Amino acid sequence: MIAKTDAAGARGLLPEVLAFTSSLSQDRALLAEDLVGSLAHLHMLARCGIVARDDALKIHGALVDLWTRAAADLWSPQGEEDVHMAVEAELTRALGEVAGRLHTARSRNDQVALDLRLHVRAQAAGVLETLGALLSKLAELAAAEVATLIPSYTHRQRAQPVSLGYVLAGYGAMLARDVDAFAFALDQADVLPLGVGAISGTSLPIDREVTRGLLRFARISQSGIDTVGDRDFALDFAYATCRCLLHASRIATDFVDFSSSEFGFVKLHGELACGSSMMPQKRNPDVFELIRGKSGAAVGNLTSLMVTLKGLPGGYNRDLQEDRGPVLASGPLAKGVLGMLRVALENVTFDHQRCAQAASDGYTQATDLAEALVKRGVPFRSAYQMVGTLVREAQRGGVALSDVPLALAQSVDPRFDAELLAAAKPDEAVLRKETPGGTGPRSVLAQVEQLRGAAARAGRLAAATPALDHLFHALKERPL
């Protein structure tokens, strides 16, 4: 038995070959992009006199009808190799031979490149909108917790006392860089590929600038042979997603730890914490654990796309069909994880007393005491050794560094005095660090303003990106 696709005319495929080569199960998700791209291409063909107005009107009406039926779940692409051929087959059933004019000066090679760029552009804008909301939440939380003390960590050991607002602003700093990464991916996708044909352009008198303007791309692609095989924009998007979710994973890991009884810094609201099927006392941080777990899918998507592209020759190759899974999964994954992280942060409460106690216990202020000695003219390495000896003596006596008696300090070195020992108070240690990037209150509030700026930039980029439905309705109403 031979399987013949309706859009392909006389050509037939073995059923198992059609099943193996079909990408329709995945790229039917690109139907909206395909219809919008087809409408823009049709307008260009009509304006250039390549397709007569009467035929263009018929095709235009059929494309609008497909959009309307698909939006109402009355039609979905099926029975073809991909969404492009499914649309063409449905147009042919409705219009007959006239439908074949739509594919003039167009190949599936540049058509799929267009659909993917439209998709990545829209998805990057959606991620930026979600990222902006998360950054705004972190800025709000950081501003509210400027005065809360908490220990910072290196090597997962207590390092120095800091403001909790400083920790939260640090999370935001990671995500602010992700705004830059998605902005770059958005820019790289903002290139019109349509019009280069299968590989070498077309002899027909098309006007690519018309199509570019209709679809609101920033520029047209430079080289046809490069355009049809180029998936760098998809790599940029997958990389931005991967890196962003790695950041989300790191934040989530802190909250998994902080919500444990060993840390006790964070309490999970009842609506956020998950229970155990066996242990009734449990309040598990499942949401944070799954945020961490789902970042693995982003790593897999990027790796899969890179392996697919590795070693391909120039021009288009069917291997590129395997880009659908990673590209189509990246946007929803990023928006889902970032959106849930924002919800989770809205449903936790910090135990200020437990945080302050952890910041005060032990010897996290040692560096601050050494720096106070430096201000008195003691070389840092000498100050480091003096404080190190004092810490060991305090540990022997079971005394916290902030409570070291003056006599004990001066037995280590007579240069210690009461004013110097005051530098070992956690709140004083935090207040003294007002250099840019530090944990002092003014510095943290400056960092909060930077986060608000990054959130606003993310929102502006998202708002400035044309939505697919807006493009469709503009093309629908535009005279041919």
Tokens for 148?
């809360």
Tokens for 393?
């003596």
Quickly state the pLDDT bin for 3 (edges 50, 70, 90): very low
The pLDDT value given to residue 274: 66
The pLDDT value given to residue 136: 98
Residues 350-365: what's their mean pLDDT?
A: 89
Q: What is the dihedral of CA 74, 79, 83, 84, to 10 degrees?
A: -110
Is residue 4 scored above 90 in pLDDT?
no
Domains 6-104 and 366-424 fall in the same CATH topology: no
Tokens for 460?
């502006």
Domain 366-424, CATH among 3.30.930.10, 3.30.2350.10, 1.10.3720.10, 1.10.40.30: 1.10.40.30
The pLDDT value given to residue 280: 57
Which of 38-42, 118-122, 411-415 is least confident?
411-415
Residues 402-418: what's their mean pLDDT?
A: 89
Q: What are the pLDDT digits (tens) for 326-344?
A: 999 999 999 999 999 999 9
- In order of 265, 351, 362, 443, the CA distances from 356 in angstroms are 9, 9, 12, 20
> Using CA atoms, how far apart are residues 227 and 272, in angstroms rounded to an integer?
46
Pairing of strands 219-220, 191-192: parallel
> Using CA atoms, how far apart are residues 369 and 434, in angstroms rounded to an integer?
16
Which of 146-160, 207-221, 272-286, 394-408 is least confident?
272-286
Is the separation of the CB atoms in 76 and 66 below 8 Å? no
By percentage, how much of the chain surpasses pLDDT 90?
78
Give the Cβ contact number of residue 187 at 10 Å.
16
Q: Which residues pair with 153 in a beta bridge?
A: 158
Domain ranges within the chain, ordered by starting residue: 6-104, 109-204+217-357+447-471, 366-424
> Using CA atoms, how far apart are residues 222 and 238, in angstroms rounded to an integer?
23
Q: Which residues pair with 154 in a beta bridge?
A: 157
> Using CA atoms, how far apart are residues 377 and 42, in angstroms rounded to an integer?
78
Quickly state the pLDDT bin for 422 (edges 50, 70, 90): confident
Quickly state the pLDDT bin for 1 (edges 50, 70, 90): very low
Quickly state the pLDDT bin for 12 (edges 50, 70, 90): confident
Please indicate whether residue 281 or residue 110 has the higher confidence score (pLDDT). 110
Buried b (16+ CB within 10 A) or exposed e, 258-276: bbeeebebbbbeeebbeee
Q: What is the CATH number of domain 6-104?
A: 1.10.275.10
Is residue 265 scored above 90 in pLDDT?
yes
> Using CA atoms, how far apart are residues 383 and 388, in angstroms rounded to an integer?
8
Tokens for 436?
């840019």
Q: Residues 23, 468, 244, CA angle at the centre, nearest 5°?
A: 75
By percentage, how much of the chain surpasses pLDDT 70?
96
CATH class of segment(s) 109-204+217-357+447-471: mainly alpha
Active-site amino acid positions = 155, 276
